[in-house]
Copies of this chain bind each other. A is one copy, B any other.
Amino acid sequence: MSSTRDIDALIDLMARLPGLGPRSARRAVLHLIRKRGLLLAPLARQMQLVADTARECLNCGNVGTADICDICSSEKRATGELCVVEDVADLWAMERSGVFRGRYHVLGGTLSALDAVGPEELRIPKLLDRVHAEGITEVILALNATVDGQTTTHYIADQLEGRVRITSLAQGVPIGGELDYLDDGTISAALRARKEL
């Protein structure tokens, strides 16, 4: 491909990132080489730093640079509300919205009979422990609105029934959404959950 082995090796590694193929990896590497002082060297250093320090929070499963993540260790977030999400990307999405002030619990996936994922493969036992240990008053199940996500929601709700308030995210028309572009399932969910004005 290019004229040197080291650059080819970098292209091969970059092509393993999600969303990049061989062609876009080549383009990215050429861009990095052109900006090797301003971008490539800082990126290499930052990657090494994160590779050395990143770990999963022992409590909630979020990624961070300490054994207990910033959210779990912040006293301000001990509101008694616990938001359960499938993975860290979902946690980050919730944090970007800036609305939730409690703590999180990252399951690391969903129950799936097909892929032989049971409660022990996820962080469900740890979730049940936390509800007791942290004095949780409300568990917000914010799993994806997929079949596996909803199965997992129901399983967890069963496990926690009677011990704590259990809620899930509202379903309906997204803000800015146009009816014409929404699927039938969303429209019927929004209609069933209609509200008085």
* CB-contact partner of A54 in B33, B54, B66, under 8 A: B33
Q: Copy number of this protein in the oligomer?
A: 2
Q: How far is the CA of A18 from the CA of B17 in the complex (A)?
A: 13
Check: A89 CB closer than 8 A to any chain B CB.
yes
Q: How far is the CA of A163 from the CA of B47 in the complex (A)?
A: 51
Q: A68-85 interface mask toward B, CB cutoff 8 Å, 1 = contact, 0 = none?
A: 011100000000000000
Interface of A (DSSP majority class)? helix
Q: Closest CB-CB distance, A77 to chain B, in whole Å?
A: 10
Taking a contact as CB atoms under 8 Å apart, the answer to whether B3 and A33 are in contact is no
Chain A stretch 1-37: residues in CB contact (< 8 A) with chain B: 1-4, 6-7, 9-10, 13-14, 16-20, 24, 26-33, 36
* CB-contact partner of A92 in B14, B26, B62, under 8 A: B26
Interface residues of A, CB < 8 Å — how many? Answer: 54
Taking a contact as CB atoms under 8 Å apart, the answer to whether B44 and A51 are in contact is yes
* CB-contact partner of A7 in B1, B31, B64, under 8 A: B64
Q: Closest CB-CB distance, A133 to chain B, in whole Å?
A: 21
Taking a contact as CB atoms under 8 Å apart, the answer to whether B7 and A63 are in contact is yes
Taking a contact as CB atoms under 8 Å apart, the answer to whether A40 and B51 are in contact is yes
Q: How far is the CA of A51 from the CA of B24 in the complex (A)?
A: 19
Taking a contact as CB atoms under 8 Å apart, the answer to whether A54 and B7 are in contact is yes
Q: How far is the CA of A92 from the CA of B29 in the complex (A)?
A: 12
Chain A stretch 75-131: residues in CB contact (< 8 A) with chain B: 87-89, 92, 95-96
Taking a contact as CB atoms under 8 Å apart, the answer to whether B48 and A44 are in contact is yes
Q: How far is the CA of A51 from the CA of B36 in the complex (A)?
A: 5
Taking a contact as CB atoms under 8 Å apart, the answer to whether B3 and A62 are in contact is yes
Q: Report, nearest first, the 4 A-B pairs whose CB atoms are least far apart.
A: A44-B47, A44-B48, A41-B51, A3-B70
- CB within 8 Å of B: which residues of A? 1-4, 6-7, 9-10, 13-14, 16-20, 24, 26-33, 36, 39-51, 53-54, 62-66, 69-71, 87-89, 92, 95-96
